[in-house]
């Protein structure tokens, strides 16, 4: 019995020794891995100082000093955290910087091109997973740098429960700056309601208008011509387009006519290339073409739904993609997207139309953000959202209180659109009292909005063919 106990004790002793030995081996491997991770981080940051640009050379000494302060945190096998050193932020300023640190970023070789200041903090979380915590503090930042920041932030947000004191102070400063900027622009907008900004001069500039053969498109052409612009008129109907051109020329302005089906991507690109060859660069692009079916969802034909989406939404993509590159080169131009208030508020009998206008409105707003991110703030984008316009597109509008929601006259809408374009307004609601709808949508629950909708009865009746309507 004693012999058996001795044997078991000997086995346990050997087992503990093996466990202790394995733990020491793992600890050694862990330290080696940690050291290698630190060296990779230092090498990655050192690459920035050897980029060869003047900006990088000027800051090389500072970078090397910061690298010497690079600190890591490790976790011992007892579960306690030992602070070997503390993390350091390294400032890198360079024209071209490649972050070659696959250990720290999921995707290696992330490019960073720009003059922004990126702060990279290399640290080791308790699970021994080295990550880079990146903050892009200086603006405007370039898109690749922003991607790197977002990737790093996603990887390390859970592990970095606290910020360093300088980072915390900087965050507080940023919050105050944002607060005062928001307040300033709110006051500026209120002031501009009383005293509008001056209108820009568009004399001899080229304005391209889609759907120029009639309705708002024709009136927009005449309004722009009155301000001395040269017109490029697009429409699917040759005769009506030529009639618009004749009226423009009667005002002493130049008009070029092109037949184009904006629902056809290849045709848009082909005609756009022809315009660029024959007329030159387009300064102002007005996406005006649009259609409306006005039927209930199950009464719509598939081809009607597809055509509505192609003309009201996709056509904006094709025209902007055709003419935006020239605007980007000179960081100058203006894109006007005529959408609808139906692009923000839905109505029965307009499922396809609402969807298409929501898409066009979202496209316009997203385009603003893309241009801002690219630093191309010289290119202006105006999103126009009018209520029902008396152009024959909507046959049967309805409103319980017509004085609150009057059907708009097209000449009034055209004047408002041109005025907003000349003042570089980003969003134009016609009438401007529609802003109340946005306010109510933001504060009221959905069921309350439904009650208001039932009470106001704003929308359209289903568009039964007119001959059938008369026979009823």
Distance in angstroms (rounded) separating the CA atoms of residues 118 and 141 = 9
* pLDDT tens string 272-314: 999 999 999 999 999 998 888 888 899 999 999 999 999 999 9
> How many other C-beta atoms are found inside a 10 Å radius of the C-beta of residue 330?
12
Evaluate whether 112 touches 98 at the Cβ level (below 8 Å).
Answer: yes
pLDDT of residue 453: 83
Evaluate whether 206 touches 281 at the Cβ level (below 8 Å).
Answer: yes
pLDDT of residue 433: 80
Structural domains in the chain, sorted by start? 206-460 (3.40.50.720)
Structure tokens at 35: 């050291």
pLDDT of residue 367: 95
* pLDDT tens string 48-98: 445 444 444 444 555 455 455 444 433 333 333 333 333 333 333 333 333
Does the CA dihedral 340-343-347-351 come out positive or negative? positive
**CB neighbour class for 94 (10 Å; exposed up to 12, middle 13-18, buried from 19):** buried
Residue 30 CA: distances (Å) to CA of 130, 206, 352:
12, 67, 60
pLDDT of residue 98: 34
Report cis status (omega within 30 of 0) of the bond before 138.
no
Residues of the chain predicted below pLDDT 70: 1-19, 30-163, 394-395, 464-472
Distance in angstroms (rounded) separating the CA atoms of residues 9 and 16 = 10
Three-class SS state of 99: strand
pLDDT of residue 17: 67
pLDDT of residue 471: 31
Task: Provide CB contacts within 8 A for 203, sequence distance 6+.
Answer: 227, 228, 229
Q: Are strands 130-136 and 206-210 parallel, antiparallel or unpaired?
A: unpaired
Measured in degrees and rounded to the nearest 5, phi and psi for residue 170 equal -65, -40
Angle (CA) 330 332 333, round 5°:
130
Does the CA dihedral 292-298-303-306 come out positive or negative? positive
* pLDDT tens string 35-55: 665 555 555 555 544 544 444
Question: Known catalytic residues?
Answer: 353
> How many other C-beta atoms are found inside a 10 Å radius of the C-beta of residue 345?
20
pLDDT of residue 254: 93
Three-class SS state of 422: helix
pLDDT of residue 399: 79
pLDDT of residue 461: 74
End-to-end CA distance of the chain: 109
> Which residues face 135 on adjacent strands?
119
Structure tokens at 267: 């045709």
């Amino acid at each position: 019995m004693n012999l058996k106990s001795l044997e078991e004790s000997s086995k346990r002793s050997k087992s503990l020794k093996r466990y202790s030995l394995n733990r020491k081996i793992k600890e050694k491997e862990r330290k080696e891995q940690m050291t290698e991770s630190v060296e990779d981080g230092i090498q990655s940051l050192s690459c920035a100082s050897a980029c060869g640009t003047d900006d990088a050379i000027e800051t090389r000494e500072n970078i090397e000093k910061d690298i010497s302060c690079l600190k890591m945190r490790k976790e011992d096998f007892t579960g306690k955290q030992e602070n070997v050193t503390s993390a350091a932020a390294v400032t890198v300023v360079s024209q071209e910087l490649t972050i070659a640190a696959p250990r720290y970023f999921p995707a290696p070789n992330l490019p960073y091109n720009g003059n922004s200041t990126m702060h990279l903090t290399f640290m080791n979380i308790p699970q021994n997973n080295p990550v880079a915590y990146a903050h892009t503090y200086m603006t405007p930042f370039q898109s690749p740098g922003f991607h790197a920041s977002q990737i790093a932030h996603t990887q390390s947000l859970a592990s970095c429960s606290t910020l360093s004191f300088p980072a915390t102070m900087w965050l507080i400063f940023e919050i105050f700056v944002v607060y005062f900027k928001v307040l300033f622009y709110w006051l500026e907008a209120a002031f501009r309601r009383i005293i509008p900004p001056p209108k820009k001069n568009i004399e001899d500039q080229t304005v391209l208008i889609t759907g120029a053969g009639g309705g708002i498109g024709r009136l927009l052409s005449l309004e722009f011509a009155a301000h001395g612009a040269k017109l490029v008129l697009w429409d699917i109907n040759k005769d009506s387009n030529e009639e618009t051109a004749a009226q423009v020329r009667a005002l002493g302005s130049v008009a070029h006519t092109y037949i184009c089906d904006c629902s056809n991507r290849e045709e848009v690109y082909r005609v756009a290339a022809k315009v660029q060859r024959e007329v030159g660069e387009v300064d102002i692009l007005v996406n005006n073409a649009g259609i409306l079916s006005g039927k209930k969802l199950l009464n719509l034909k598939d081809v009607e739904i597809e055509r509505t989406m192609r003309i009201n939404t996709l056509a904006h993509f094709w025209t902007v993609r055709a003419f935006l590159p020239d605007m980007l080169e000179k960081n100058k131009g203006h894109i006007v997207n005529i959408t609808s208030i139906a692009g923000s508020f839905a109505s029965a009998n307009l499922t396809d139309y609402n969807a298409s206008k929501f898409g066009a409105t979202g496209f316009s707003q997203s385009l603003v953000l893309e241009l801002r991110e690219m630093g191309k703030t010289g290119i202006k984008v105006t999103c126009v959202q009018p209520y029902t316009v008396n152009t024959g597109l909507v046959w049967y509008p309805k409103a319980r209180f017509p004085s609150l929601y009057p059907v708009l006259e097209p000449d009034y809408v055209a004047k408002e659109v041109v005025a907003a374009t000349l003042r570089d307004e980003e969003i134009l609601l016609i009438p401007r009292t529609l802003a109340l709808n946005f306010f109510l949508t933001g504060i009221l629950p959905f069921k309350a909005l439904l009650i208001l909708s039932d009470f106001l009865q704003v929308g359209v009746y289903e568009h039964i063919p007119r001959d059938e309507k008369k026979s009823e």
